[in-house]
Structure 1
Amino acid sequence: MSQLCEIVGIPRSSYYKWRNRKESENEKFNKVLLPMIKCAYEEKNGILGYRQMTMKLNRQFHLSINHKRVYRLMGILELKSVCRKKKENYVPTTPEITAENVLNRDFKSLVFGTKWLTDVTEMKYGLQSKAYLSAILDLSDKSIVSFVIGHSNNNELVFRTFDIAHRAYPNAKPIFHSDRGFQYTNKMFKKKLDDTGMTQSMSRVARCIDNGPMESFWGMFKSEMYYLQKFNTYEELE
Protein backbone atom coordinates (compact mmCIF):
# COMPACT_ATOMS: atom_id res chain seq x y z
CA MET A 1 0.00 0.00 0.00
CA SER A 2 2.89 2.34 0.78
CA GLN A 3 4.23 1.84 -2.74
CA LEU A 4 0.83 2.57 -4.31
CA CYS A 5 0.45 5.76 -2.29
CA GLU A 6 3.93 6.80 -3.36
CA ILE A 7 3.12 6.13 -7.03
CA VAL A 8 -0.04 8.29 -7.02
CA GLY A 9 1.62 10.90 -4.83
CA ILE A 10 -0.62 10.89 -1.76
CA PRO A 11 0.29 10.40 1.93
CA ARG A 12 -0.67 7.10 3.58
CA SER A 13 -2.63 9.06 6.17
CA SER A 14 -4.86 10.49 3.43
CA TYR A 15 -5.60 7.02 2.10
CA TYR A 16 -6.61 5.66 5.51
CA LYS A 17 -8.67 8.76 6.21
CA TRP A 18 -10.56 8.21 2.95
CA ARG A 19 -11.01 4.48 3.63
CA ASN A 20 -12.42 5.01 7.11
CA ARG A 21 -14.60 8.01 6.33
CA LYS A 22 -18.36 7.74 6.78
CA GLU A 23 -20.68 8.30 3.87
CA SER A 24 -22.42 11.69 4.12
CA GLU A 25 -26.21 12.11 4.02
CA ASN A 26 -25.86 13.85 0.63
CA GLU A 27 -23.99 10.89 -0.81
CA LYS A 28 -26.58 8.47 0.54
CA PHE A 29 -29.37 10.57 -0.99
CA ASN A 30 -27.53 10.72 -4.33
CA LYS A 31 -27.42 6.90 -4.39
CA VAL A 32 -31.20 6.89 -3.99
CA LEU A 33 -31.67 9.51 -6.71
CA LEU A 34 -29.51 7.84 -9.36
CA PRO A 35 -31.87 4.91 -10.11
CA MET A 36 -34.89 7.24 -9.89
CA ILE A 37 -33.34 9.48 -12.55
CA LYS A 38 -32.49 6.52 -14.77
CA CYS A 39 -36.03 5.13 -14.53
CA ALA A 40 -37.64 8.51 -15.26
CA TYR A 41 -35.32 9.02 -18.24
CA GLU A 42 -36.23 5.62 -19.72
CA GLU A 43 -39.93 6.13 -18.95
CA LYS A 44 -39.98 9.31 -21.08
CA ASN A 45 -37.85 7.84 -23.87
CA GLY A 46 -34.93 10.16 -23.20
CA ILE A 47 -36.95 13.36 -23.63
CA LEU A 48 -36.18 14.84 -20.23
CA GLY A 49 -33.33 17.30 -19.79
CA TYR A 50 -32.08 18.11 -16.31
CA ARG A 51 -34.63 20.90 -15.73
CA GLN A 52 -37.65 18.79 -16.70
CA MET A 53 -36.15 15.87 -14.80
CA THR A 54 -35.96 18.03 -11.66
CA MET A 55 -39.61 19.06 -11.99
CA LYS A 56 -40.74 15.46 -12.54
CA LEU A 57 -38.88 14.11 -9.51
CA ASN A 58 -40.02 16.92 -7.24
CA ARG A 59 -43.66 16.54 -8.27
CA GLN A 60 -43.80 12.74 -8.39
CA PHE A 61 -41.90 12.04 -5.17
CA HIS A 62 -42.66 15.27 -3.25
CA LEU A 63 -39.01 16.30 -3.12
CA SER A 64 -37.30 19.67 -3.18
CA ILE A 65 -34.06 18.87 -4.98
CA ASN A 66 -32.08 21.48 -6.88
CA HIS A 67 -31.62 21.30 -10.66
CA LYS A 68 -27.83 21.58 -10.19
CA ARG A 69 -27.79 18.30 -8.27
CA VAL A 70 -29.85 16.62 -11.00
CA TYR A 71 -27.51 18.05 -13.64
CA ARG A 72 -24.48 16.52 -11.88
CA LEU A 73 -26.14 13.14 -11.39
CA MET A 74 -27.32 12.97 -15.01
CA GLY A 75 -23.73 13.71 -15.99
CA ILE A 76 -22.55 10.76 -13.90
CA LEU A 77 -25.11 8.55 -15.66
CA GLU A 78 -24.17 10.12 -19.02
CA LEU A 79 -27.80 10.98 -19.71
CA LYS A 80 -28.76 13.87 -22.00
CA SER A 81 -32.05 14.84 -23.58
CA VAL A 82 -32.38 13.38 -27.05
CA CYS A 83 -34.34 16.40 -28.22
CA ARG A 84 -32.81 18.54 -30.93
CA LYS A 85 -32.67 22.31 -30.85
CA LYS A 86 -34.94 24.30 -33.11
CA LYS A 87 -33.27 26.00 -36.06
CA GLU A 88 -34.20 29.62 -36.57
CA ASN A 89 -34.69 30.72 -40.17
CA TYR A 90 -35.27 34.43 -40.60
CA VAL A 91 -36.37 35.72 -43.99
CA PRO A 92 -36.47 39.54 -44.20
CA THR A 93 -39.61 41.07 -45.71
CA THR A 94 -40.94 44.56 -46.35
CA PRO A 95 -43.86 44.98 -43.90
CA GLU A 96 -47.05 46.83 -44.79
CA ILE A 97 -47.93 47.39 -41.12
CA THR A 98 -45.73 47.32 -38.03
CA ALA A 99 -46.65 47.69 -34.38
CA GLU A 100 -44.84 48.52 -31.17
CA ASN A 101 -43.88 45.81 -28.73
CA VAL A 102 -46.85 46.56 -26.48
CA LEU A 103 -46.48 43.29 -24.60
CA ASN A 104 -42.89 44.23 -23.74
CA ARG A 105 -42.07 40.74 -22.38
CA ASP A 106 -44.72 41.03 -19.67
CA PHE A 107 -45.70 37.37 -19.91
CA LYS A 108 -47.75 37.27 -16.71
CA SER A 109 -51.51 37.02 -17.10
CA LEU A 110 -54.17 36.06 -14.57
CA VAL A 111 -57.24 36.35 -16.80
CA PHE A 112 -57.93 34.27 -19.91
CA GLY A 113 -58.33 36.28 -23.10
CA THR A 114 -56.16 39.26 -22.14
CA LYS A 115 -52.83 38.27 -23.73
CA TRP A 116 -52.51 36.04 -26.79
CA LEU A 117 -49.32 35.00 -28.57
CA THR A 118 -49.12 33.51 -32.03
CA ASP A 119 -46.59 32.02 -34.44
CA VAL A 120 -46.13 29.56 -37.30
CA THR A 121 -43.69 26.64 -37.20
CA GLU A 122 -42.42 24.36 -39.95
CA MET A 123 -42.46 20.56 -39.88
CA LYS A 124 -41.19 18.04 -42.42
CA TYR A 125 -42.57 14.71 -43.60
CA GLY A 126 -41.68 12.18 -46.28
CA LEU A 127 -38.45 12.95 -48.13
CA GLN A 128 -38.58 16.69 -48.78
CA SER A 129 -42.17 17.77 -48.05
CA LYS A 130 -43.07 20.49 -45.55
CA ALA A 131 -46.15 21.39 -43.53
CA TYR A 132 -46.86 24.45 -41.41
CA LEU A 133 -48.61 24.72 -38.06
CA SER A 134 -50.13 28.02 -36.93
CA ALA A 135 -51.30 28.42 -33.34
CA ILE A 136 -52.51 31.00 -30.81
CA LEU A 137 -51.52 30.62 -27.15
CA ASP A 138 -53.17 32.27 -24.13
CA LEU A 139 -50.67 33.43 -21.52
CA SER A 140 -52.94 32.92 -18.50
CA ASP A 141 -52.97 29.10 -18.60
CA LYS A 142 -50.63 28.45 -21.58
CA SER A 143 -53.49 26.76 -23.43
CA ILE A 144 -53.76 26.70 -27.22
CA VAL A 145 -56.76 28.79 -28.24
CA SER A 146 -56.76 27.64 -31.87
CA PHE A 147 -54.49 25.97 -34.40
CA VAL A 148 -54.44 25.18 -38.12
CA ILE A 149 -52.06 22.94 -40.08
CA GLY A 150 -51.56 23.41 -43.79
CA HIS A 151 -49.33 22.82 -46.79
CA SER A 152 -48.34 26.48 -47.19
CA ASN A 153 -47.12 29.19 -44.87
CA ASN A 154 -49.43 31.89 -46.17
CA ASN A 155 -52.00 34.47 -45.13
CA GLU A 156 -54.87 31.96 -45.28
CA LEU A 157 -53.20 29.76 -42.65
CA VAL A 158 -52.83 32.63 -40.18
CA PHE A 159 -56.21 34.20 -40.96
CA ARG A 160 -58.02 30.89 -40.39
CA THR A 161 -56.26 30.43 -37.07
CA PHE A 162 -57.36 33.90 -36.00
CA ASP A 163 -60.96 33.41 -37.19
CA ILE A 164 -61.30 30.14 -35.26
CA ALA A 165 -60.06 31.83 -32.07
CA HIS A 166 -62.40 34.79 -32.52
CA ARG A 167 -65.41 32.57 -33.15
CA ALA A 168 -64.63 30.54 -30.05
CA TYR A 169 -64.13 33.66 -27.86
CA PRO A 170 -65.98 36.54 -29.56
CA ASN A 171 -65.77 38.81 -26.51
CA ALA A 172 -62.02 38.48 -26.02
CA LYS A 173 -60.04 41.65 -26.73
CA PRO A 174 -56.48 40.67 -25.87
CA ILE A 175 -53.10 42.14 -26.62
CA PHE A 176 -52.31 40.07 -29.72
CA HIS A 177 -48.57 39.53 -30.00
CA SER A 178 -46.61 38.07 -32.91
CA ASP A 179 -43.28 38.36 -34.65
CA ARG A 180 -42.93 40.48 -37.81
CA GLY A 181 -43.79 37.72 -40.25
CA PHE A 182 -45.42 38.85 -43.49
CA GLN A 183 -48.81 37.47 -42.46
CA TYR A 184 -48.97 39.63 -39.32
CA THR A 185 -47.76 42.81 -41.04
CA ASN A 186 -50.49 42.46 -43.65
CA LYS A 187 -53.10 45.26 -43.84
CA MET A 188 -55.94 42.73 -43.94
CA PHE A 189 -54.73 41.13 -40.72
CA LYS A 190 -54.48 44.54 -39.05
CA LYS A 191 -58.09 45.18 -40.04
CA LYS A 192 -59.16 41.90 -38.45
CA LEU A 193 -57.54 42.96 -35.18
CA ASP A 194 -59.10 46.43 -35.33
CA ASP A 195 -62.56 45.06 -36.12
CA THR A 196 -62.44 42.77 -33.08
CA GLY A 197 -61.01 45.40 -30.73
CA MET A 198 -57.70 43.62 -30.20
CA THR A 199 -54.42 45.47 -29.64
CA GLN A 200 -51.62 44.50 -32.00
CA SER A 201 -48.15 43.95 -30.55
CA MET A 202 -45.01 42.80 -32.38
CA SER A 203 -41.60 41.53 -31.41
CA ARG A 204 -38.61 43.64 -32.28
CA VAL A 205 -36.59 42.61 -35.32
CA ALA A 206 -34.64 39.38 -34.72
CA ARG A 207 -35.65 39.29 -31.03
CA CYS A 208 -37.22 35.84 -30.57
CA ILE A 209 -37.21 36.34 -26.81
CA ASP A 210 -39.99 38.94 -27.20
CA ASN A 211 -42.25 36.00 -28.09
CA GLY A 212 -40.51 33.65 -25.63
CA PRO A 213 -43.44 31.57 -24.29
CA MET A 214 -44.59 30.78 -27.82
CA GLU A 215 -41.08 29.69 -28.80
CA SER A 216 -40.89 27.57 -25.64
CA PHE A 217 -44.18 25.89 -26.52
CA TRP A 218 -42.92 24.99 -29.99
CA GLY A 219 -39.76 23.55 -28.45
CA MET A 220 -41.68 21.36 -26.02
CA PHE A 221 -44.27 20.36 -28.62
CA LYS A 222 -41.66 19.26 -31.14
CA SER A 223 -39.49 17.53 -28.56
CA GLU A 224 -42.31 15.42 -27.20
CA MET A 225 -44.47 14.82 -30.27
CA TYR A 226 -42.44 15.42 -33.45
CA TYR A 227 -38.68 14.83 -33.29
CA LEU A 228 -38.91 11.29 -31.93
CA GLN A 229 -41.16 10.08 -34.74
CA LYS A 230 -40.96 9.76 -38.50
CA PHE A 231 -43.89 10.91 -40.63
CA ASN A 232 -44.12 9.56 -44.17
CA THR A 233 -47.27 11.39 -45.25
CA TYR A 234 -49.08 14.64 -44.53
CA GLU A 235 -51.98 12.66 -43.06
CA GLU A 236 -49.69 10.98 -40.52
CA LEU A 237 -48.27 14.31 -39.48
CA GLU A 238 -51.72 15.90 -39.29
Structure 2
Amino acid sequence: MGRGGEEGCLSQVRQGHIYTSIKECRAEAGYPIETACKLLHVARSAYNKWASGNQSRRIAENEWLAEKIEKIHMESPDKGYRRINDDLRHDHDIHINDKRVLRICRAKNIKSTIKYNNHGCTRQAKNPQYLAENLLDRQFFASQPNEKWLTDVTEFKWYEGLEVHKVYLSAVLDLYDRRIVAFVISERNDNPLVFKTFDKAVGKNPDAHPLFHSDRGYQYTNRTFHHKIDKAGMTQSMSRVAHCIDNGPMEGFWGILKRERYYGKRFTSKQALIQMIEDYIRYYNTRRVQRNLGVLTPMEKYERYLAA
Protein backbone atom coordinates (compact mmCIF):
# COMPACT_ATOMS: atom_id res chain seq x y z
CA MET A 1 0.00 0.00 0.00
CA GLY A 2 1.33 3.45 -0.92
CA ARG A 3 1.75 6.40 1.41
CA GLY A 4 -1.57 7.89 0.29
CA GLY A 5 -3.43 4.66 0.98
CA GLU A 6 -1.78 4.33 4.36
CA GLU A 7 -2.73 7.89 5.28
CA GLY A 8 -6.31 7.10 4.29
CA CYS A 9 -6.33 4.07 6.56
CA LEU A 10 -4.92 6.10 9.43
CA SER A 11 -7.49 8.81 8.83
CA GLN A 12 -10.16 6.21 9.45
CA VAL A 13 -8.32 5.02 12.55
CA ARG A 14 -8.34 8.63 13.74
CA GLN A 15 -12.09 8.82 13.12
CA GLY A 16 -12.77 5.53 14.88
CA HIS A 17 -13.40 7.05 18.29
CA ILE A 18 -15.86 9.52 16.74
CA TYR A 19 -17.77 6.68 15.05
CA THR A 20 -17.80 4.78 18.33
CA SER A 21 -19.27 7.80 20.14
CA ILE A 22 -22.02 8.14 17.51
CA LYS A 23 -22.88 4.47 17.85
CA GLU A 24 -23.02 4.69 21.65
CA CYS A 25 -25.23 7.81 21.54
CA ARG A 26 -27.58 6.00 19.19
CA ALA A 27 -27.72 2.89 21.37
CA GLU A 28 -28.02 4.61 24.75
CA ALA A 29 -30.14 7.67 23.96
CA GLY A 30 -31.63 6.98 20.54
CA TYR A 31 -29.83 10.02 19.12
CA PRO A 32 -30.34 10.33 15.33
CA ILE A 33 -27.26 9.15 13.44
CA GLU A 34 -27.62 11.72 10.68
CA THR A 35 -27.75 14.61 13.16
CA ALA A 36 -24.76 13.26 15.10
CA CYS A 37 -22.74 12.93 11.90
CA LYS A 38 -23.47 16.54 10.98
CA LEU A 39 -22.56 17.85 14.42
CA LEU A 40 -19.25 15.96 14.40
CA HIS A 41 -18.49 16.73 10.75
CA VAL A 42 -18.52 13.09 9.72
CA ALA A 43 -19.83 11.78 6.40
CA ARG A 44 -22.85 9.54 6.89
CA SER A 45 -21.52 7.17 4.23
CA ALA A 46 -18.19 6.86 6.04
CA TYR A 47 -19.96 6.09 9.30
CA ASN A 48 -22.16 3.49 7.60
CA LYS A 49 -19.13 1.80 6.10
CA TRP A 50 -17.45 1.70 9.50
CA ALA A 51 -20.61 0.42 11.23
CA SER A 52 -21.12 -2.32 8.63
CA GLY A 53 -17.72 -3.81 9.46
CA ASN A 54 -16.69 -3.78 5.81
CA GLN A 55 -13.28 -2.28 6.46
CA SER A 56 -10.15 -3.18 4.60
CA ARG A 57 -7.70 -5.57 6.21
CA ARG A 58 -5.18 -2.74 6.50
CA ILE A 59 -7.61 -0.49 8.36
CA ALA A 60 -8.55 -3.28 10.74
CA GLU A 61 -4.87 -4.04 11.32
CA ASN A 62 -4.09 -0.37 12.03
CA GLU A 63 -6.92 -0.20 14.54
CA TRP A 64 -5.61 -3.34 16.23
CA LEU A 65 -2.11 -1.83 16.32
CA ALA A 66 -3.48 1.46 17.63
CA GLU A 67 -5.01 -0.37 20.61
CA LYS A 68 -1.66 -2.00 21.41
CA ILE A 69 0.17 1.32 21.02
CA GLU A 70 -2.29 3.19 23.23
CA LYS A 71 -1.94 0.56 25.95
CA ILE A 72 1.87 0.82 25.89
CA HIS A 73 1.64 4.61 26.01
CA MET A 74 -0.83 4.58 28.91
CA GLU A 75 1.50 2.37 30.93
CA SER A 76 4.58 4.48 30.07
CA PRO A 77 3.70 7.99 28.81
CA ASP A 78 7.40 8.82 28.48
CA LYS A 79 7.80 6.48 25.50
CA GLY A 80 8.04 7.94 22.01
CA TYR A 81 7.23 6.07 18.83
CA ARG A 82 10.63 4.36 18.56
CA ARG A 83 10.49 2.93 22.07
CA ILE A 84 6.86 1.94 21.54
CA ASN A 85 7.93 0.05 18.42
CA ASP A 86 10.74 -1.62 20.40
CA ASP A 87 8.14 -2.82 22.92
CA LEU A 88 5.93 -4.13 20.10
CA ARG A 89 8.86 -6.22 18.88
CA HIS A 90 10.18 -7.31 22.25
CA ASP A 91 6.95 -7.98 24.14
CA HIS A 92 4.41 -8.74 21.38
CA ASP A 93 6.56 -10.10 18.51
CA ILE A 94 5.04 -7.46 16.20
CA HIS A 95 7.49 -6.31 13.53
CA ILE A 96 6.57 -3.11 11.69
CA ASN A 97 8.63 -0.10 10.69
CA ASP A 98 9.04 3.07 12.76
CA LYS A 99 7.25 5.26 10.23
CA ARG A 100 4.04 3.27 10.52
CA VAL A 101 4.13 3.50 14.30
CA LEU A 102 4.80 7.24 14.05
CA ARG A 103 1.80 7.75 11.75
CA ILE A 104 -0.47 5.82 14.11
CA CYS A 105 0.87 7.83 17.07
CA ARG A 106 0.13 11.05 15.22
CA ALA A 107 -3.35 9.85 14.33
CA LYS A 108 -4.04 9.06 17.99
CA ASN A 109 -2.20 12.17 19.25
CA ILE A 110 0.27 10.06 21.23
CA LYS A 111 3.39 11.97 22.27
CA SER A 112 6.22 11.25 24.64
CA THR A 113 6.93 13.44 27.64
CA ILE A 114 9.08 16.53 27.10
CA LYS A 115 12.83 15.98 27.17
CA TYR A 116 15.07 18.08 29.39
CA ASN A 117 18.77 18.77 29.38
CA ASN A 118 20.69 17.13 32.18
CA HIS A 119 23.13 19.08 34.32
CA GLY A 120 25.62 17.02 36.31
CA CYS A 121 26.60 17.90 39.84
CA THR A 122 30.14 16.55 40.08
CA ARG A 123 32.50 19.28 41.26
CA GLN A 124 35.88 19.48 39.57
CA ALA A 125 38.82 19.12 41.94
CA LYS A 126 40.69 22.39 42.58
CA ASN A 127 43.83 20.54 43.61
CA PRO A 128 43.60 17.01 42.19
CA GLN A 129 45.81 14.45 43.90
CA TYR A 130 45.82 12.13 40.88
CA LEU A 131 44.92 12.66 37.21
CA ALA A 132 44.55 10.00 34.54
CA GLU A 133 44.58 10.26 30.75
CA ASN A 134 41.39 9.92 28.74
CA LEU A 135 42.14 6.32 27.79
CA LEU A 136 38.51 5.62 26.93
CA ASP A 137 38.72 8.30 24.21
CA ARG A 138 34.97 8.11 23.47
CA GLN A 139 35.21 4.46 22.43
CA PHE A 140 31.76 3.76 23.79
CA PHE A 141 31.64 0.06 23.00
CA ALA A 142 32.95 -3.15 24.53
CA SER A 143 33.28 -6.71 23.29
CA GLN A 144 32.29 -8.31 26.60
CA PRO A 145 30.90 -7.48 30.05
CA ASN A 146 33.21 -5.86 32.62
CA GLU A 147 35.59 -4.57 29.96
CA LYS A 148 34.75 -0.88 30.41
CA TRP A 149 32.94 0.77 33.29
CA LEU A 150 31.74 4.36 33.53
CA THR A 151 30.75 6.22 36.69
CA ASP A 152 29.36 9.56 37.84
CA VAL A 153 27.21 11.26 40.50
CA THR A 154 23.97 13.18 39.97
CA GLU A 155 21.56 14.97 42.32
CA PHE A 156 17.82 14.88 42.97
CA LYS A 157 15.68 17.27 44.99
CA TRP A 158 12.75 16.69 47.30
CA TYR A 159 10.68 19.25 49.18
CA GLU A 160 9.43 19.65 52.73
CA GLY A 161 7.16 22.67 52.48
CA LEU A 162 9.37 25.43 51.09
CA GLU A 163 12.53 23.71 52.26
CA VAL A 164 14.60 21.98 49.57
CA HIS A 165 16.51 18.79 50.33
CA LYS A 166 18.83 16.79 48.10
CA VAL A 167 19.93 13.21 47.63
CA TYR A 168 22.81 12.07 45.46
CA LEU A 169 22.99 9.00 43.25
CA SER A 170 26.34 7.43 42.39
CA ALA A 171 26.34 4.62 39.83
CA VAL A 172 28.59 2.40 37.72
CA LEU A 173 27.52 1.54 34.15
CA ASP A 174 28.90 -1.26 31.98
CA LEU A 175 29.50 -0.22 28.36
CA TYR A 176 28.91 -3.68 26.90
CA ASP A 177 25.29 -4.11 27.96
CA ARG A 178 24.58 -0.67 29.49
CA ARG A 179 23.51 -2.32 32.75
CA ILE A 180 23.89 -0.49 36.04
CA VAL A 181 26.48 -2.62 37.82
CA ALA A 182 26.07 -0.93 41.21
CA PHE A 183 24.63 2.21 42.75
CA VAL A 184 24.46 4.00 46.09
CA ILE A 185 22.15 6.83 47.24
CA SER A 186 23.23 9.29 49.91
CA GLU A 187 22.34 12.66 51.40
CA ARG A 188 25.96 13.73 50.93
CA ASN A 189 27.98 14.10 47.75
CA ASP A 190 31.31 13.05 49.21
CA ASN A 191 34.15 10.55 48.99
CA PRO A 192 32.35 7.78 50.96
CA LEU A 193 29.48 7.87 48.42
CA VAL A 194 31.84 7.15 45.53
CA PHE A 195 33.99 4.70 47.49
CA LYS A 196 30.92 2.68 48.56
CA THR A 197 29.68 2.52 44.98
CA PHE A 198 33.04 1.25 43.77
CA ASP A 199 33.28 -1.34 46.57
CA LYS A 200 29.75 -2.54 45.78
CA ALA A 201 30.58 -2.95 42.08
CA VAL A 202 33.77 -4.87 42.88
CA GLY A 203 31.96 -7.02 45.44
CA LYS A 204 29.44 -8.09 42.80
CA ASN A 205 32.16 -8.69 40.19
CA PRO A 206 35.34 -9.77 42.06
CA ASP A 207 37.03 -11.04 38.90
CA ALA A 208 36.38 -7.90 36.85
CA HIS A 209 39.33 -5.72 35.81
CA PRO A 210 37.78 -3.11 33.53
CA LEU A 211 38.95 0.23 32.28
CA PHE A 212 37.32 2.53 34.84
CA HIS A 213 36.29 5.91 33.46
CA SER A 214 34.98 9.03 35.22
CA ASP A 215 35.10 12.78 34.98
CA ARG A 216 37.63 14.79 37.03
CA GLY A 217 35.42 15.24 40.07
CA TYR A 218 37.26 15.58 43.35
CA GLN A 219 36.18 12.11 44.50
CA TYR A 220 37.74 10.44 41.45
CA THR A 221 40.99 12.42 41.58
CA ASN A 222 41.44 11.47 45.22
CA ARG A 223 44.63 9.48 45.82
CA THR A 224 42.78 6.96 48.01
CA PHE A 225 40.35 6.25 45.21
CA HIS A 226 43.20 5.67 42.76
CA HIS A 227 44.73 3.18 45.19
CA LYS A 228 41.40 1.33 45.34
CA ILE A 229 41.39 1.07 41.53
CA ASP A 230 44.98 -0.16 41.49
CA LYS A 231 44.23 -2.73 44.18
CA ALA A 232 41.31 -4.05 42.13
CA GLY A 233 43.56 -4.50 39.09
CA MET A 234 41.76 -1.85 37.05
CA THR A 235 43.04 0.96 34.84
CA GLN A 236 41.80 4.48 35.51
CA SER A 237 40.64 6.85 32.77
CA MET A 238 39.28 10.40 33.06
CA SER A 239 37.38 12.79 30.83
CA ARG A 240 39.08 15.96 29.68
CA VAL A 241 38.21 19.21 31.43
CA ALA A 242 34.83 20.62 30.29
CA HIS A 243 34.16 17.68 27.92
CA CYS A 244 30.99 16.04 29.29
CA ILE A 245 30.66 14.01 26.06
CA ASP A 246 33.78 12.06 27.12
CA ASN A 247 31.47 10.34 29.62
CA GLY A 248 28.47 10.43 27.27
CA PRO A 249 26.69 7.10 28.04
CA MET A 250 26.77 7.80 31.77
CA GLU A 251 25.37 11.31 31.25
CA GLY A 252 22.84 9.74 28.90
CA PHE A 253 21.62 7.38 31.63
CA TRP A 254 21.04 10.31 33.99
CA GLY A 255 18.98 11.99 31.29
CA ILE A 256 16.90 8.86 30.64
CA LEU A 257 16.14 8.33 34.34
CA LYS A 258 15.19 11.96 34.97
CA ARG A 259 13.09 12.38 31.84
CA GLU A 260 11.11 9.23 32.49
CA ARG A 261 10.59 9.38 36.25
CA TYR A 262 11.76 12.69 37.76
CA TYR A 263 11.21 15.81 35.65
CA GLY A 264 7.71 17.25 35.95
CA LYS A 265 7.19 15.67 39.38
CA ARG A 266 7.54 17.12 42.86
CA PHE A 267 8.68 14.67 45.53
CA THR A 268 7.65 15.57 49.06
CA SER A 269 9.46 12.82 50.94
CA LYS A 270 12.97 11.42 50.80
CA GLN A 271 11.70 7.84 50.98
CA ALA A 272 9.41 8.30 47.97
CA LEU A 273 12.29 9.74 45.94
CA ILE A 274 14.68 6.96 46.92
CA GLN A 275 12.04 4.34 46.18
CA MET A 276 11.52 5.84 42.71
CA ILE A 277 15.26 5.70 41.96
CA GLU A 278 15.61 2.11 43.17
CA ASP A 279 12.52 0.97 41.28
CA TYR A 280 13.63 2.70 38.09
CA ILE A 281 17.11 1.17 38.09
CA ARG A 282 15.55 -2.26 38.56
CA TYR A 283 13.15 -1.52 35.68
CA TYR A 284 15.97 -0.15 33.50
CA ASN A 285 18.16 -3.22 33.99
CA THR A 286 15.47 -5.87 33.60
CA ARG A 287 12.55 -4.45 31.58
CA ARG A 288 13.57 -1.40 29.53
CA VAL A 289 14.58 -2.62 26.08
CA GLN A 290 17.20 -0.69 24.09
CA ARG A 291 17.52 -0.67 20.34
CA ASN A 292 21.31 -0.39 20.42
CA LEU A 293 21.33 -3.68 22.35
CA GLY A 294 19.31 -5.44 19.66
CA VAL A 295 15.94 -4.66 21.29
CA LEU A 296 17.00 -6.36 24.53
CA THR A 297 17.17 -5.24 28.13
CA PRO A 298 20.65 -4.76 29.68
CA MET A 299 20.28 -7.95 31.73
CA GLU A 300 19.10 -9.93 28.71
CA LYS A 301 22.18 -8.78 26.81
CA TYR A 302 24.39 -9.69 29.76
CA GLU A 303 22.79 -13.10 30.27
CA ARG A 304 23.00 -13.97 26.58
CA TYR A 305 26.73 -13.34 26.68
CA LEU A 306 27.11 -15.62 29.71
CA ALA A 307 25.00 -18.32 28.05
CA ALA A 308 27.10 -18.18 24.90
Q: TM-score, normalised by structure 1?
A: 0.77
Does the residue aligned with 1:124 lie in a helix, a strand or coil? strand
Q: Partner amino acid for 2:131?
A: T
Q: How far did residue 79 of structure 1 move? A: 1.9
Q: Partner amino acid for 2:159?
A: G
Does the residue aligned with 2:213 lie in a helix, a strand or coil? strand
Which has the larger displacement, 228-237 or 35-44? 228-237
Q: 1:47 to 1:125 in 2, by over 3 A?
A: same
* Preserved contact between residue 240 and residue 246 of structure 2 (Cα < 8 Å): yes
The corresponding residue for 1:143 is 179
Q: How far did residue 181 of structure 1 move? A: 1.8
Is 1:56–2:87 an aligned residue pair? Answer: yes
Q: How far did residue 165 of structure 1 move? A: 1.9
Q: Partner amino acid for 1:87?
A: N
Structure 1, unmatched stretches of 5+, are 1-18
The corresponding residue for 1:191 is 227
Is 1:118–2:151 an aligned residue pair? Answer: yes
Q: How far did residue 187 of structure 1 move? A: 2.2
Does the residue aligned with 1:129 lie in a helix, a strand or coil? strand
Is 1:37–2:69 an aligned residue pair? Answer: yes
Does the residue aligned with 1:126 lie in a helix, a strand or coil? strand
Q: 1:224 to 1:87 in 2, by over 3 A?
A: closer
Q: Counterparts of 1:69 and 1:212 in 2: how far apart (Å)? A: 30
Q: How far did residue 151 of structure 1 move? A: 0.7
Structure 2, unmatched stretches of 5+, are 1-45, 47-54, 275-308
Q: Percent identity?
A: 45
Q: Counterparts of 1:43 and 1:168 in 2: how far apart (Å)? A: 32
Q: How far did residue 41 of structure 1 move? A: 0.7
CA-based RMSD of the aligned residues comes to: 2.8
Q: How far did residue 150 of structure 1 move? A: 0.6
Q: 5 Å matches for 1:1-238? A: 29-44=61-76, 46-82=77-113, 84-89=115-120, 93-94=125-126, 96=128, 97-127=130-160, 128-227=164-263, 230-238=266-274
Q: How far did residue 158 of structure 1 move? A: 0.6
1:87-135 deviation digits (Å, cap 9, x = unpaired): 3156554351332221223233243322111111111112411100101
Q: Counterparts of 2:273 and 2:108 in 1: how far apart (Å)? A: 34
Q: Partner amino acid for 2:108?
A: L
Q: TM-score, normalised by structure 2?
A: 0.61
Does the residue aligned with 2:194 lie in a helix, a strand or coil? helix
1:65-91 deviation digits (Å, cap 9, x = unpaired): 222332333233222222542431565
Query: How many residues end up aligned between the 2 structures?
Result: 216
Does the residue aligned with 1:147 lie in a helix, a strand or coil? strand
Q: Partner amino acid for 2:193?
A: L
* Preserved contact between residue 118 and residue 251 of structure 2 (Cα < 8 Å): no
Q: How far did residue 37 of structure 1 move? A: 1.8
* Preserved contact between residue 95 and residue 186 of structure 1 (Cα < 8 Å): no
Q: Counterparts of 1:206 and 1:25 in 2: how far apart (Å)? A: 55
Q: Counterparts of 1:26 and 1:233 in 2: how far apart (Å)? A: 49
Which has the larger displacement, 186-195 or 82-91? 82-91
Q: 1:183 to 1:64 in 2, by over 3 A?
A: same
Q: Partner amino acid for 1:171?
A: D
Does the residue aligned with 2:172 lie in a helix, a strand or coil? strand
Q: Counterparts of 2:127 and 2:70 in 1: how far apart (Å)? A: 50
Q: How far did residue 32 of structure 1 move? A: 4.0
1:189-216 deviation digits (Å, cap 9, x = unpaired): 2222122221111223333333232223
Q: 1:68 to 1:216 in 2, by over 3 A?
A: farther
Which has the larger displacement, 104-113 or 24-33? 24-33
